[in-house]
Amino acid sequence: MKFSIAKSLSLLMPAAFILTFATSYTPKPAHFETGTKEKPAAVKRYLYVATPGVRNYLGYGGHGIQVFDMDNNHRFLKFIPTAGLNKDGKPSNVKGIAVSLATNCIYITTLEAMQCIDITTEKLLWEKPYEGGADRLSMSPDGKLIYLPSLEKEFWTVVDAKTGNIIKKIVTNSGAHNTIYGPSGNHVYLGGLKSTYMNVANTKTHTVDKQVGPFAADIRPFTINATESLVYVNVNGLLGFEVGDLNSGKKLHRVEVQGFNIGEVKRHGCPAHGIGLTPDEKELWLCDGANNRVHVFDNTVMPPRQVTTIQVRDMPGWITFSLDGKYAYPSTGDVIDVKTRKIVATLEDQNYNSVQSEKMVEIQFSGNKAVRAGDQFGIGRAAKSR
């Protein structure tokens, strides 16, 4: 004997309930899930490497930006041709790289000019020459201002990031060179390679209101901690670094690398050219150009204590880190796992040629939108610095 569903239910349930059930029930599609939301796009991390980033050597990546997939063993992703030709029509040395999320642009300086490239379209928006040339720029935390050093001359120029227009000139007579915009946005640290003093500019007035030093010799690359209380500097003639107090303006310590001779270097004219803090500020990494090494120091003690060394494939002249602190990037193109100290990859272009550069930066994307960017300098990012 066969019974319909309605008849079967009538034997067990009141008529009113059967009517309600029959009129209110609507089968849901198989894919329907109550309360689900569209998942956000996964964040993708890419390393942007500007070349020629070692002098004008085109053999280390050509002329443009090499992009590598950080989450896929740093494999080559794409090549972006760039401008930046000198008066003879040849590619000019790249001097610095920075990113602004506010303008959605990458900025590259060469010996003569600065260029602005849209991150999304990868098109050149403008390229402008500046009086005295252009050295290693630094971007404000809000992405609206650039401090642009002239090429080892007397001054820095404050530039509007969107237009490239000049806002003000800051004269220090120190041989303008390396530049770090502090994470607070209140000060910019101006390292001149013809001075033993670090100049500190106030970003409200765009004037120098403090000096730190003197250090033992003219200042070369340097880095700072997140609270902007300490500066770590390379100086001429030293295989090591010195530490300065950004609050008192005094030099605190001199640290020399043990177990290695100074020796001759291919470039830069100083034994240690390149210094960086891991983002958590627990370690300081130092480039040794004469011995093709990167020395690691424990920065949880003061002065920092030398703990180990890592051999790289060529002369290191710069170092920076991934935002999460997992990878160290010396300019040799070696990718070093910070925790294990092992070289886990080497940067190569689409033709498997070695890529080397002292100008590289991490950019993170959600979908096609840039959502976070690193810095060419290995600056501290710890929430609480010593």
Mean pLDDT value across residues 152-159: 98
Per-residue pLDDT band for 383 (boundaries 50, 70, 90) equals: confident
The string of pLDDT tens digits covering residues 253-266 is 999 999 999 989 99
Question: Taking 90 as the threshold, does the pLDDT of residue 4 lie above it?
Answer: no
Sheet containing strand 198-202, strands side by side: 176-181, 187-192, 198-202, 207-212
The string of pLDDT tens digits covering residues 161-210 is 999 999 999 999 999 999 999 999 999 999 999 999 999 999 999 999 99
Report the alpha-carbon distance of residue 119 to residue 122 in Å, rounded: 5
Query: Which fold does the domain 43-265+349-373 belong to in CATH?
Result: Methylamine Dehydrogenase; Chain H (2.130.10)
Other beta carbons within 10 Å of 162:
16
SS3 of residue 235 by DSSP: strand
Per-residue pLDDT band for 36 (boundaries 50, 70, 90) equals: low
So what's the pLDDT on residue 38?
Answer: 61
Mean pLDDT value across residues 208-225: 98
So what's the pLDDT on residue 277?
Answer: 98
Other beta carbons within 10 Å of 186:
14
Burial level of 124, CB count in 10 A (0-12/13-18/19+)?
middle
CB within 8 Å of 202: residues ≥ 6 apart: 186, 187, 208, 209
In percent, how much of the chain has pLDDT > 90? 86
- Containing H/E element for 44? strand 43-51
| Residue 182 in tokens | 């502090």
Question: Taking 90 as the threshold, does the pLDDT of residue 31 lie above it?
Answer: no
So what's the pLDDT on residue 87?
Answer: 86
Question: Taking 60 as the threshold, does the pLDDT of residue 27 lie above it?
Answer: no
So what's the pLDDT on residue 41?
Answer: 74
Q: Residue 340 region, left (φ>0) first, then alpha (ψ -120 to 50), else beta? A: alpha
So what's the pLDDT on residue 341?
Answer: 98
* Tally: H helices and E strands in the chain: 2, 29
Question: Taking 50 as the threshold, does the pLDDT of residue 295 lie above it?
Answer: yes
Question: Taking 50 as the threshold, does the pLDDT of residue 28 lie above it?
Answer: no
Question: Taking 60 as the threshold, does the pLDDT of residue 5 lie above it?
Answer: no
Q: Are 203 and 183 in contact (CB under 8 A)?
A: no
CA distances from 255 to 51, 262, 380 (A): 32, 14, 19
**Domain residue spans of the chain:** 43-265+349-373
Report the alpha-carbon distance of residue 109 to residue 151 in Å, rounded: 10
Q: What is the pTM of this model?
A: 0.89
Report the alpha-carbon distance of residue 110 to residue 88 in Å, rounded: 14
